[in-house]
Amino acid sequence: MKKLKKLLVLFTAALFCLLPILSQPLTAQASTPVTYYVKFDTEKNDWRYLVGSTWDDEAYDRELYYMNLDIKDGDIVIVDGTGILEIDVHLSNLTILNGDLAIVMVKSIDEFYALNNSKSSITGTIKNAYVYGDCLVNFNSDVSNLYVYDPTNPCAD
């Protein structure tokens, strides 16, 4: 009986110690999307990337192998250059800049932008695609909404 009483007192003391910790509500937070700027380096003849929305020639860029390890669904990718690029995630935003022909394969995209007279071929389901100016885009998968903006003819939007 004394052992049972002692065990009950220890259990009650432990419960009072853990009660403040267990009573705190847990809050879940979605991680914010990371922006990757991917550029084709003609000197190295390879795709390189930086984290951020602009390219800095002075910054240390890395191989795509490392981006593919870190990238997750919902991230943002800006592509600047010509070549074949495969990204095996869902992107919240894909922007193509300055490419003579950027071939990009991706699972799916929420928002796609073609800018600066770029030429691209995109494989992956797209929710909204925005094509500006003299850009040329080949969509190889479904596009829910396609918006084409011609700056020379503002009435055509």
Question: Which of the four pLDDT bands, split at 50, 70 and 90, describes residue 140?
Answer: very high
Q: pTM higher than 0.85, yes or no?
A: no
User: Mind listing the pLDDT tens digit for each residue in 52-81?
Assistant: 999 998 989 999 999 999 999 999 999 998
pLDDT value of residue 70 = 92
Residue 20's Cα: distance from chain center in Å? Answer: 39
pLDDT value of residue 43 = 87
Most confident of 3-7, 8-12, 111-115: 111-115
CA 38, CA 75: separation in Å to the nearest integer? 13
